[in-house]
Chains A and B, each alone.
Chain A
Amino acid sequence: MIKFRLGKGEEREILDYSNLTFFRKLASKMRDPKTRFDVKEFVSKGEDYLFNYTNKNVGSVDEKRRKFLKSLIFGIAAAAVVGIIPGVRVLVPPTVTVTTGFPKSLLVDSSGNPIKASSLPVNSPYIIIFEYPMTGEPNFLINLGDSSGKPVEIQPTKVVVPQTGKTYDFPGGVGPNKSIVAYSAICQHLGCTPPYIHFYPPSYVNPRQLTASEPDQLTAAALLAAKEANVPALIHCDCHGSTYDPYHGGAVLTGPTVRPLPSVILEWDSSTDYLYAIGSVGVATYPNGSNGIPSQDPTDDLSSSFGSPVGDKTTVTETENPFSS
């Protein structure tokens, strides 16, 4: 900025710097033979011609205005960026609550109402599943009966782990008839999940299933083992034929599995008829020793790498009926 000093700090502005460059640019364009300023036309057309001429050759916007506008644009852009900052929270991974013990979870249906133990169908061919203790870990919920469909009381028993020879205590069934049990729905052989592994009610444990297609086929070995163990129903995995005994704590009936199905400990509130899942017994669902030898401590399944705890409620879903007939 060019200024006059009028003594005693008083100043008077004469010419802004950007105006000066503008005039210099305009003057040079006017002299330039390529873009010479036509004086005759200026006389005839007046200031319109001058405006048009400057617009065309020098530009209508001086640097200062342009800079101001640019700073406004960058201001809006900055506002957008500042506004997005709280949105960056989206990048923060969800916190995994570290659990020290099994949660106590009420079993509810898909609309959030608690499941009534006495309304659970006996020997249901549907695959009834709830997640516990972590999300994504399915477990069967089965109300066991005999071949005539009457609920059967499931006694506490000792279950043998063929792989290690050790045993653990299975607490038995719960509910009004002590017939309700829950087992992990992850096959202990190679981790197959429903519908490939599921419960076979007594009416489906017969030679007809030998020729059925997946996922409701039974192997001859499974049928024979059920007969020898004198159990009317069984849990069978179609992947490789592992068979488990739901009446005796999910014990192994036939291989290739070498571990029983871990069971979920259920609690039945006789006053409300509600069911709760409160823990697990048996081997850990995910073997974590060398050569796939399972941990004897089921709380190993509570590691955050397997998911997040289901919380105080877990939804029971009736996924499908695998039997075609």
Chain B
Amino acid sequence: MGVSDWFRERLGLDDLPFFRTPDYMYNVNYWLGSLVAAAFIYTVISGLILLLYYNPEAGYSSTEFIIQKVPYGSVILYSHLYGAYAMIILAYVHMFRNYFAGAYKKPRELLWIIGVIMLVLTLGTAFLGYSLIGDALATSAVDVGEGIISSIPGLSIFIPILFGNYDAGDYGRVLAWHIIFVALIGLLFAFHFFLAEHYGMMPSKKVKDKAPAVYTKEEWQKFNPWWPRNFVYMMSLIFLTWGFILLIPNALAYLNGLPQQLNPFLNPKPAPPPNSPAAAHITTYPPWFFLFLYKIADFTSDVVIFLFIGVIIPLLYLILVPFIDRSPYLSLTKRRLFTAFGILMITYLIQTTIWGDLTPGVEIPIAQQVMVYLPPAIITLVGVFVMPAKTNNKAIANPLSILILLVTSILFGGALVTLIASPSLLTIIAFTLFTLVFILSIKNISPIALKIEKQEQTIITPEKPRNRELKKKIAEVLISILFIFAVILASQLWVIPATGYLSNLFGIDLGLIFIMLGEAISLYHYVVYRRD
């Protein structure tokens, strides 16, 4: 405790206006923002290391140089890429979770708007970073981006400002903007973080079911102080995130010959340079996080309409939603339209991304667009409005059941479209099957099912202290085992060659150690702090 107290006194942590946290909030659901922040910090650190080597005047060759010649360069480069991927995915998860929780409502409107701006900046930074590789895919992505910008009158002056002499192989501008965007994200993040600490984390709907959903200062005082418990919990999440960011891409580096459809999502290696003969043989597709935009661009030849559908309307909706949805209710059944919009946004995002991956750059007639986008809209709207409201039930859905509903409704829609397009015995059977699954999943999140679940919960007797003691003992043993494995892996790290085929093992091993560290801290948190 000595060290902890020393820090507490030096940093004045008790005096900081940091949110004191109730016990039930030690759940990842409430900490998604810290996962995004962990991915951001990792990406910044690895990016700064890459900055020591990257030469914007020779983008592709210095990328190759980093992968092949720099010690553990491929480990850093691939995990930098996947750190950005993780940041984007986690930012979406964080955003939609808070959307469904109603966290954009009073008094958190500004917090929400800053978050949306950060999402846009993150996507922009990712696009610029992707362009820095200078491979055939990056250059064609820049061409498409330039094409979109230049086809809007008046905007083409931004192309030289943003891209400089990109076509002549000078990526200095792109690198500079990449870093400037990151700096902006960092600034906004500081603001976002302190606002979040100021209002406190969004209380559960069971506790506060109406906006403004904030704990009063008196209520705060009863909760756990920020230091050291929040810190310990946060560290476990940070190391787990870092571990996966290191582990996944370096493991994927050993997968060769991925099918074309998986390439945009799973390939950490650059494609051939645009002026090489090999470039002629690859299908060009944008980075996966822009596949949805790429597909929408196939719907219409009018760039302004495309931008309205793909960018401006969703963005305006997200920024304005705190002011459109003025009701104080946080329950999903009490703001059905917004629930439906949220589900539809996720559905369309996933749907269009997959579609863009399957048919990159293939033009889609309007009839087919309607076939694809109408069923989810009808299903969602009908589903959301048929759902009966329960007065005594405050939470009607958790993220997992919404995800299941999402998947089953996509499958149901797909089966319906297939049945209409080619009716046969097989499609009828498939349609019946998927319909059943879909009905089941609707039932699953309907309040009736929840009521049963709630009753069950009350039957469960509180855990016996001796059981908890046993569990804590097991956790202690697990920490010891993790320690032993970590030491073994760490000693292995010393013999991995710095460059070449085997060097990615370094990322895998280090990722595993980070995961073990995160897991050990999480177990420690369980042993030391869990009471309930």
Contacts and interface: CB of A to CB of B under 8 A. Distances in A.
Interface in B59-76: 61, 69-73, 75-76
A86 interface: yes
Nearest to A109: B277
Nearest to A81: B490
Contacts of B486: 75-76, 79-80
Contacts of A52: 465
A158 interface: no
A84 B58 CA distance: 29
Interface string B247-291: 000000000000000000000000000011100000000000000
B510 A89 contact: no
Given A69-B528, A76-B482, A111-B277, A83 B490 contact: yes
A90 interface: yes
A39 interface: no
Contacts of A51: 465-466, 469
B506 A87 contact: yes
B531 A72 contact: no
Contacts of B52: 91, 93
Contacts of A92: 71
B528 A83 contact: no
Contacts of B5: none
B516 interface: yes
Contacts of A79: 483, 486-487, 489-490, 513
A77 interface: yes
B275 A90 contact: no
Interface in A81-103: 82-87, 89-94
Interface string B99-119: 000000000000000000000
A18 to B, nearest CB: 12
A31 interface: no
A86 B496 contact: yes
B524 A82 contact: no
B517 A90 contact: no
B6 interface: no
B489 A48 contact: no
Contacts of B494: 83, 85-86
A268 B70 CA distance: 35
Contacts of B517: 73, 76-77, 80
A28 interface: no
Contact of A87 (B69, B72, B472): B72
Interface in A120-166: 135-136
Interface string A56-68: 1000110101100
Contacts of B506: 86-87
Contacts of A135: 58, 61
A229 to B, nearest CB: 30
A48 B1 CA distance: 29
Contacts of A320: 275
Nearest to B518: A76
Interface in B461-489: 464-466, 468-469, 472, 476, 479-480, 482-483, 486-487, 489
A307 to B, nearest CB: 9
B225 to A, nearest CB: 15
Interface in A163-202: 193, 195
A120 to B, nearest CB: 17
A299 interface: no
A135 B57 CA distance: 11
A73 B228 CA distance: 15
Contacts of A84: 493, 510
A217 B275 CA distance: 24
A51 B470 CA distance: 13
A55 interface: yes
A213 interface: no
A160 B486 CA distance: 69
A72 B490 contact: no
A73 B70 contact: no
B483 A76 contact: yes
Contacts of A61: 472, 527-528
A288 interface: no
B332 interface: no
B296 interface: no
A317 interface: yes
Contact of A86 (B73, B168, B493): B493
Interface residues of B, number: 50
Nearest to B469: A60
A90 B73 contact: yes
Contacts of A195: 168
A203 interface: no
B49 A83 contact: no
A86 B498 contact: yes
A90 B479 contact: no
A136 B510 contact: no
A135 B55 CA distance: 12
B101 to A, nearest CB: 30
Contact of B489 (A65, A83, A91): A83
B465 A80 contact: no
A55 B524 contact: no
A136 B513 CA distance: 40
B509 interface: yes
Given A90-B70, A90-B73, A83 B509 contact: yes
Interface in B301-324: none
A24 interface: no
A110 interface: yes
Nearest to B530: A60
B496 A80 contact: no
Contacts of B472: 60-61
A60 B493 CA distance: 37
Contacts of B527: 61, 69
Contacts of A83: 489-490, 493-494, 509-510, 513
Interface in B432-488: 464-466, 468-469, 472, 476, 479-480, 482-483, 486-487
A317 B489 contact: no
B465 A90 contact: no
B133 interface: no
A70 interface: yes
B493 A94 contact: no
Interface in A190-234: 193, 195
A111 B53 CA distance: 25
Contacts of B465: 48, 51-52, 55
Contacts of B513: 76, 79-80, 83
Contact of B521 (A55, A56, A65, A73): A73
A90 B480 contact: no
B91 interface: no
Contacts of A89: 71-72, 498
Given A55-B531, A75-B483, A110-B276, A80 B70 contact: no
A75 B465 CA distance: 29
Nearest to A136: B58
Nearest to A65: B476
A85 B276 CA distance: 38
A86 B521 CA distance: 25
29 contacts: A51-B465, A51-B466, A51-B469, A60-B468, A69-B479, A69-B528, A72-B479, A72-B520, A73-B520, A73-B524, A75-B483, A76-B482, A79-B483, A80-B490, A83-B489, A83-B490, A83-B493, A83-B494, A83-B509, A86-B494, A89-B71, A89-B498, A91-B49, A91-B52, A94-B53, A94-B69, A110-B277, A135-B61, A195-B168
Cβ-closest 6 pairs across A and B: A83-B490, A79-B490, A51-B465, A83-B493, A89-B71, A79-B486
